[in-house]
Chain A
């Protein structure tokens, strides 16, 4: 049963990574335009992420 000492934290850390990633993506406006972002990969020229275009 000593394996639990490793397994429980591992499961918590994995879940925590997922949660952190989700909140990070949410705050970074990545869910703003799901449909549009899906289509953008079809652009011939490289698309610039919103942050870069904003700076000009």
Chain B
């Protein structure tokens, strides 16, 4: 009958809290028993490690250490064993022991146990037990069912109570009402030695709905813990300069006026002023500019910029909520609230369904009272209607599909952060790309061509120039000694010329030096074409072509110059490109799209994209993006490859179709069963059949998404 296998517990995704004084390390590349054994063995040889246990599902190792041992020796040991290792900020991960998930599972277990036993008794009643036997079976059922429903139904009762107190109706209200009425009426019928008791229906209702509940919870918790993990990937520490040297402290402990040391290659932790040292800064993540900028004493530094070339000292001018980053994030919150008003398919269905069900049951009651004058019979029929229409399959329709779909998207490297992101992704009809960091790698690339001495000359010339391109070149150069130049002269708009070991050397525009490539290095008479800046990421053209094939428009918005924008748009196949966009301009473009009724997916990574990401219909940021951009995005792209986009949209569309199908299936069962219930022919057997078969159909249909 109810072959829903109550003995098969669904897979939980719980993560216990880290032991105190422990270290957690993310292991993105492990995948098998050998990896686990390798990591654990490597860690067991580290002094001070008490124990280490790899969690393959989470790709994470939890290490218990003696107090005072940091993560560094563990990271080194794992890397030496040949695996990638990234430290996780245990504070940011927080105590994520999934207590709710666990109590839901226990509730499912209790409901499953009670359902099995009551069903066993009900089967004998349906097959013809009468008189004293039937009464006894009803009594035993009541003794099992009443406490089980009271215990396992708590999530629904509390949610319904909260909604009623706020004067609203939600899906849990008809569920709770059906549960309470079914139990109450069955108890009354049992007392009166009646024929029909709905204890089994009440229990299977609880059981199936709890499964839906749990799937929903699991999807949310998985997204949340992964998002937390992303935030925890870069523990924010700063090197504070003290009288005795430097000490590493958490960013939260740094105060305004502190002196910080920022080594080359590190991110600027807080806003401040550069006081010693010369360097180039990658402001790409903050401003979206692809070219590194030179900075010297007196220049302002913004948290999030990357210090590329030289070690610097800075004086902190703002901490915590006063930093530019945080203020930008506050702006974003305003835009976000508008988007959170999107109501998913389930909510829309519930808004129609819940009142309709109540009304139908009430009408059935009144109709039968008027027709027969028998209160008990009328109440029986009204409750049968309520039980049969109870949104059992409806409660499973959405979570089952979104669990299957988001699991598949995760395997393809797309992480859903927002519960309604999948549904919104399905409605997308245009995609707006940011350029730098999304379609292109903004970092300077290493040069090939000149020999070691030539590289020294290049570095010296680049150092002499103030042009942004030269700064970009500089950032891409290896750590070499600059050549000694004499007669250095900068030619505005053309480049730099100088003399090196008696030979004329120059760096500049190709046309100026008689070459074609921009820029060109000239040593004596030889020309060396150089590579600059941006390279399109693999898979971009493919992704754009795929989106066009699905009838989705593409648009490129960038803060870069029109020349750079056109070049990338042409290479990627994007028809429309708009350059020189400030963050406000991007928001305006997206608002314009919204006003035209378009549903835009924004893909961007910079802080300058953050307001645009927040105001888009649905948004996506690569995992390499700024924290702020990742936080506001609905989805995170775990690998920098955007070629997965068409597949993701296709999957979302199929998921949406599957959800609608599920609603239709559930509706079909109701369409057959409700008239029978209204006519008074409904029996507990029928209710059990309709409920189980519709729930199982819906679950199976959802599982087809997995393949």
Contact = CB atoms under 8 A, between A and B. Distances in A.
Interface of A: 1, 4, 8, 11-12, 15-16, 18-19, 22-23, 26-27, 29, 31-36, 39-40, 42-44, 50, 53-54, 56
A32 B64 contact: no
Interface residues of B, number: 37
B50 A56 contact: yes
Q: Is the interface of A mostly helix, strand, loop or mixed?
A: helix
B19 A54 contact: yes
A40 B7 CA distance: 24
B241 interface: no
Contacts of A36: 36, 54-57
Interface string B101-122: 0100110011011001100110
B229 to A, nearest CB: 15
Interface string B47-75: 00011111111100000100000000000
Q: Could you say which of B19, B53, B54 has the most chain A C-beta atoms within 10 Å of its C-beta? A: B53
B624 interface: no
B256 to A, nearest CB: 43
Interface in B22-38: 32-33, 36-37
Given A33-B56, A35-B57, A56-B51, 20 more contacts: A15-B116, A15-B117, A16-B113, A18-B7, A19-B112, A22-B109, A26-B12, A26-B102, A26-B105, A27-B102, A32-B16, A33-B57, A34-B57, A36-B36, A36-B56, A39-B36, A39-B56, A40-B33, A40-B36, A53-B51
Interface string B125-162: 00000000100100010001000000000000000000
Contact of B113 (A4, A19, A53): A19
A15 B33 contact: no
A26 B105 CA distance: 8
B287 interface: no
A44 B16 CA distance: 27
A31 B16 CA distance: 11
Nearest to A29: B16
Nearest to A19: B113
Q: Could you say which of B57, B102, B106, B140 has the most chain A C-beta atoms within 10 Å of its C-beta? A: B57
Nearest to A8: B140
Contacts of A1: 133
Contacts of B120: 11
A21 to B, nearest CB: 10
A53 B11 contact: no
A31 B9 contact: yes
A22 B51 CA distance: 27
B132 to A, nearest CB: 9
Contacts of B32: 39
Given A26-B102, A54-B64, A43 B117 contact: no
A33 B9 CA distance: 14
Contact of A33 (B19, B50, B58, B106): B58
25 contacts: A8-B140, A11-B120, A15-B113, A15-B117, A18-B113, A19-B112, A26-B9, A26-B106, A26-B109, A27-B102, A29-B16, A32-B16, A32-B55, A33-B58, A34-B11, A34-B57, A35-B56, A36-B54, A36-B55, A36-B56, A39-B36, A44-B37, A54-B19, A54-B64, A56-B51
Contacts of B697: none
A27 B12 CA distance: 12
Contacts of A56: 50-51
Given A19-B109, A56-B50, A32 B37 contact: no
A16 B114 CA distance: 9
A18 B113 CA distance: 8
Contacts of A18: 7, 113
A50 B54 CA distance: 10
Contacts of A4: 133, 136
Which 5 pairs across A and B sit closest by C-beta, in order of nearness? A36-B56, A39-B33, A42-B33, A19-B113, A53-B51
Contacts of B50: 54, 56
B14 interface: yes
B645 to A, nearest CB: 28
A12 B137 CA distance: 13
A11 to B, nearest CB: 6
A3 to B, nearest CB: 12
B661 interface: no
Contacts of A12: 117, 144
Contacts of B133: 1, 4
